[in-house]
Structure 1
């Protein structure tokens, strides 16, 4: 029987590449000299980009400036350095002239960078005697061998034995509007937007479910490709994300540390409250010299077009230091979440999470200006559905029913519906075979706030009885219930570095067991 895989990495997207690049770098730094076999299971054609950064239209923009995009937690400028080292050819393909650290570049370009990081880490691993096998296979199940302490991976390419696994299996598809699945004209995701543009007729009536970042990608891709038909975007709130300020804060924002967050807790019984965090962040805002403008922080009222106009004006003329302070929380945000008692977490999800998502997940000015133009020209409308939003198939198309202005129901007929509500983290509702396997076998349990239940210190799964499964850890979106903001590349890179260091340290001390 073939020797078991020492480390199985499930998934080959950005988080997996970030973990592996930092894992190999840590082993290199430790002068690791043992034999090690790593297998990466990725069903897509290319390792690195995953779905978020896959080859697609250049209208898909990063929502983080180029200077902060990197596979390495401690080398934040790596992406920009890679661009500068490539010469003009790579930039010409995307119509980019002189990128700077503050530019919001096309996501497929970052995908090219990740593919190159993958190639380089594999080459360096080979020089260190580390064997990395890439298997173009989907992992559909996983089981524990109680006697040998090993894992059995059930894949589309057969079964494999492994000593340890890191799950980087990416975002789960949305489970909303499941009744429309398979219906002609329905897209359960906007991506790839190139496919959207190809299949949607130029004059077709299009309904977009959602008004967040994914919805913006779909709208811009269609409109910039010449779509002339009416477009209606609907969401419960009808709110667009905040627009990222084009001006730097007057003073540099120093990220809070885990120790500073921990010090906010006045008593273990009370834990960290939302009021504690509010006071802390307000003090940090005051230190910048910016006034506490709740209208600006919480969002402007009025119609979506009016609110977006005010957003554009504010982000063109004000530093909006509150945005930089919110972003700086990325360095320690999981510690704030860990210290909140369950009652506070429930309060946050019930009262504040929707607002947090629209204000924290900002989008770049270039797309904000485009969306405003579409609204001004009348080719795009954005409406709030609140709890009365209803979308169903009707004839050859779809009907979108919204609460009317006078208390009735407004009915809108569309030819296509694009579900841009984003990813799901509800593992209980997921149809993903691996997720179902882990839950059904009691190897994992659902976290009430999304993803799997994990041990905070190691990122390892908690089984159905609450025990730590020491040889299966999780990175990425399915770690959301434990670490909260795992939709952010820099947070995932930092958590990946922590796991890489821990595993590399264990190997350096003990070597790989026979």
Structure 2
């Protein structure tokens, strides 16, 4: 009997999983000179495999946040070509559109989605040669997973059932838990705008308030303007009132001086206070002057959105190095190890006091975004306002957005663009698994997994060696998992573990 692997969710993580499994099996077949028999089935509730929600948007105004050379590198393969695909490849003789988009380092996200889709088709066709069956179940939503015994799971979808030896949960973003009390109210949209369907019933002749000021909010604002859905003013509101920083124009392999040594020596017991002290020491060394928490821009009280953009655009156009960004990028990649070694109290302190600001500096937008945002602000079509405090609905059809200085603004159109949520009961699949004890809710969001193996733990804390999770569902353990490089790292680790399991 072939090993049967079910992957729930067909986005970028699923493609990375399949690519790594394919390469492992191919190399094993070359050594043994025998085909490697296996069956992999991807269940995707939408109609495409590869793009997922982030890369399905068809609009050129939605750009990737990292240079394409970084994005493509994580899915590179020594076995799959980067050129034209044969007519029998199922890729409709497409070139690698993502790499062919030469006029910018930050192409539209839909091209990256097509890149992932073509990669999935390549793997599917190449796998056949090894007796590996890779099946795509599009428009198939999984509603439950049940454990049959120690070696088998039943995957229940709306249209079919499937029995598998291994299950990988890579379902992507969960719905926002912020402002759920407003769901169903006229004029309120609970998620960012990425399509015409999202903009259904939106009135372009009325002003709009977008809750949030990071990438999801920016995506929504640019969509409204580029697709002529916003003829009136758009107001973005958040607590900090800060936009993300610009992506570095040059990526330097900067070496941290203090933090790695401390993290290695501390092992599984990292002190947040010590870590933060060393972080500022790293920043000060990189910048050549003393910098601490009190000396950086932390909110709208320290700068305006226009000044924030002006300064960063000027630095980018002059190609002025920003050493701090190199430090932050390196620290961001260390986060999984750091997070697991912090105690519960330090984790909660970090989330409450530092996480939002850190993500403002760690999140990136391309120069094109910054210039467009500056233009919209200068034309008084876009406003970014900090000090956001709460929303009330005293009058039907009107939302009162209140600020910490006691002022408020009213709007009849309100969009929640605060990002994804982490309540597993907001997703029917996880809610069902949670109710039966197959998964457990992590206190900081998502489901409980082993931080080293990403194996799912049940309500009794017992690890399943055959069920894994990738990306946002593992947020409580890994934190900030929506970075494509980190998701790929998780996918490769899980693929290696499954391969070892079926090879034993």
Give the TM-score band, short-chain normalised.
Answer: 0.7 to 0.9
What do the CA deviations read for 1:249-293 (whole angstroms, capped 9, x no partner)? 5xx31479997464241x76xx21233333544555466564454
1:420 matched to 2:425: no
2:27, 2:360 → 1: CA distance? 41
Aligned residues of 1:444 and 1:461 also touching (Cα < 8 A): yes
Equivalent pairs counted in the alignment come to 487
1:238 matched to 2:241: yes
Q: Structure 2 vs 1, CA of residues 257 and 8 (structure 1 numbering), >3 Å: closer, same or farther?
A: farther
2:411, 2:350 → 1: CA distance? 36
Aligned to 2:370: 368
Q: Quick one: which of 456, 459, 463 aligns to 1:461?
A: 456
Aligned residues of 1:14 and 1:71 also touching (Cα < 8 A): no
Aligned to 2:402: 402
Aligned residues of 1:290 and 1:321 also touching (Cα < 8 A): no
TM-score (norm 2): 0.87
2:337, 2:451 → 1: CA distance? 9
Q: Structure 2 vs 1, CA of residues 393 and 461 (structure 1 numbering), >3 Å: closer, same or farther?
A: farther
Aligned to 1:310: 311
Query: How far apart are 1:361 and its partner, in Å?
Result: 0.8
Query: How far apart are 1:461 and its partner, in Å?
Result: 0.7
What do the CA deviations read for 1:212-233 (whole angstroms, capped 9, x no partner)? 1010011112223343212111
2:103, 2:312 → 1: CA distance? 27
Query: How far apart are 1:121 and its partner, in Å?
Result: 0.8
Aligned residues of 2:83 and 2:95 also touching (Cα < 8 A): no
1:82, 1:347 → 2: CA distance? 49
Matched ranges for 1:347-496 at <5 A: 347-387=349-389, 389-392=390-393, 394-395=395-396, 397-403=397-403, 405=405, 407=406, 409-414=407-412, 416-427=413-424, 430-496=425-491
1:256, 1:502 → 2: CA distance? 33
Matched ranges for 1:167-316 at <5 A: 167-196=169-198, 200-226=202-228, 227-246=230-249, 252-254=253-255, 260=261, 262-265=263-266, 271-282=269-280, 284-285=282-283, 288=286, 290-294=288-292, 295-296=295-296, 301-316=302-317
Aligned to 2:59: 57
Moved more, 187-196 or 452-461: 187-196
2:418, 2:161 → 1: CA distance? 35
Q: Quick one: which of 113, 124, 143 aligns to 2:115?
A: 113
Aligned residues of 2:192 and 2:417 also touching (Cα < 8 A): yes
Q: Quick one: which of 133, 136, 149 aligns to 1:134?
A: 136
Query: How far apart are 1:367 and its partner, in Å?
Result: 0.9
Query: How far apart are 1:402 and its partner, in Å?
Result: 1.5
SS in 2 for 1:144: strand
RMSD (Å) for aligned C-alpha atoms: 3.2
Q: Quick one: which of 41, 45, 49 aligns to 1:47?
A: 49
Q: Structure 2 vs 1, CA of residues 492 and 364 (structure 1 numbering), >3 Å: closer, same or farther?
A: same
Q: Structure 2 vs 1, CA of residues 471 and 89 (structure 1 numbering), >3 Å: closer, same or farther?
A: closer
Aligned residues of 1:245 and 1:365 also touching (Cα < 8 A): no
1:7, 1:16 → 2: CA distance? 12
Query: How far apart are 1:239 and its partner, in Å?
Result: 2.0
Q: Structure 2 vs 1, CA of residues 507 and 277 (structure 1 numbering), >3 Å: closer, same or farther?
A: same
SS in 2 for 1:319: coil
Aligned residues of 1:475 and 1:495 also touching (Cα < 8 A): yes
Q: Structure 2 vs 1, CA of residues 125 and 392 (structure 1 numbering), >3 Å: closer, same or farther?
A: farther
Aligned to 1:163: 165
Q: Quick one: which of 98, 102, 119 aligns to 2:103?
A: 98
Aligned to 1:507: 502
Q: Unpaired segments of 5 or more residues in structure 2?
A: 87-92
SS in 2 for 1:170: coil
2:401, 2:493 → 1: CA distance? 48
Q: Structure 2 vs 1, CA of residues 66 and 299 (structure 1 numbering), >3 Å: closer, same or farther?
A: farther
SS in 1 for 2:23: helix
1:327 matched to 2:332: no
Q: Unpaired segments of 5 or more residues in structure 1?
A: none
Q: Structure 2 vs 1, CA of residues 403 and 333 (structure 1 numbering), >3 Å: closer, same or farther?
A: closer
Query: How far apart are 1:394 and its partner, in Å?
Result: 4.2
